[in-house]
Amino acid sequence: MSLLNSLWNEIVGFFGVSQFFEILSNGEFEKLLTYDGIVALIIPIIPLLLFLELILGLVYKKPQTKVYKVIFLIYLFNRIAGRFIALGIVALCIGFFEPIALIETSMTWYWFIYGYIVWEFAHFIYHFLAHKVRILWCLHATHHSPEEMNLSVTHAHFFLEAPYADLIRTSICIFLGVNPVLLFTIMFIDGTYGAFIHVGENLIKDARFGFLNKLMLTPSHHRVHHARNPLYIDTNYCNLLNFWDRIFGTYQEEDPKMEIQYGVTRPINSSNFIDVYFGEIINLAKDVVKAPGVVNKLKYIFYPPGWSHTGELKTAKKIRAEYLASK
């Protein structure tokens, strides 16, 4: 019986409906109009869309079972390995940087706009470094390994990536004056939208969203980000606002005539949990062991993925530049 209760709690936890069920069971329907009630209504949206996406995949006979299987294993592993680490990192960053914050903010609409702009900048920094520093790419590559796009990809992360991401994002935001309450509100909004932009073609075929495609980052932009096509590689690092990508020259729209090829550039067995989860770390370790001299070993760790002391491999920047030069 305890096993069934644990299974039920995991299902309820995954779909994020525990708070909603509590409100219903207590008959406190007026709470649905409060902040907590709105959160309780929003949290289940992404898991329910993921479930709908899976059902539609079965209907369209495009179930993407290989992707779902590996990501399910990743989800289970991360539940055990990294459950509380990220929360601890956030608390440490707040405790360290809040006393030395450059400015003070409050929960007002104008500070919310400021906070969101700062958050997107911090997210850009974390995400850019995760693609440009190989040891950090080892933490992020698991998320790019699936060769199909759907909402389950939201859960495909190496367990140490969230602590790294929160170390960068929380430190920058708190230091630049985004107070913790404002930060957690932005984290919730951006986390929900950040999950939604992984929606697959089974649920939304054309995800450019008309004129909004010019004003914000849509799922179409994030599909481009997950592509290994030379034109698309290492672009669109932001989550919702696109101007940091525009400022730093990493903005790229989807070409409807170009079929997106998802996944990483190295040969990978995307149905193998070990290769998807640990493959980049294993390859990095092999390169470091074989590299001549301490300097080359350090370069393999901190230089961009694709760098080689022999010059045989190509970085994403070089691959994209050669593609654009050929056009």
Q: How many residues does the chain have?
A: 327
54 belongs to a structural domain: no
Q: Which residues contact 235 (CB under 8 A, 6 or more apart)?
A: 224, 225, 245, 250, 251, 252
> In this structure, what token pair is assigned to residue 262?
């998802």
Please tell me the total count of domains within the chain. 1
Question: Is residue 2 in a domain?
Answer: no
Range of the structural domain that residue 273 is part of? 65-327
d(CA 139, CA 239): 18
CA nearest neighbour of 240 among 182, 200, 190: 190
Considering the domain boundaries, does residue 33 fall inside one?
A: no
283 inside domain = yes
The dihedrals phi and psi of 227, each to the nearest 5 degrees, come to -85, 155
Comparing CA positions, the residue from 145, 139, 138 lying closest to residue 165 is: 139
Is residue 110 domain-resident?
yes
pTM: 0.82
Q: Look up residue 135 and give its two tokens.
A: 């040891």
Asked if the structure places residue 128 within a domain, the reply is yes
- Neighbour count for residue 289 (Cβ, 10 Å): 9
Per-residue pLDDT 10s for the chain (327 aa) are: 454 555 445 555 555 556 655 656 666 666 656 656 565 556 666 565 655 666 666 555 555 555 556 766 676 666 656 556 766 888 899 999 999 999 999 999 999 999 999 999 999 999 999 999 999 999 999 999 999 888 888 888 998 998 899 999 999 999 999 999 999 999 988 988 998 899 888 788 888 988 989 889 999 999 999 999 999 999 999 999 999 999 999 999 999 899 999 999 999 988 888 999 999 999 999 999 999 999 999 999 999 999 999 988 789 989 998 888 887
In which residue are the tokens 């902040």 written?
Answer: 35
In a domain, 111, yes or no: yes
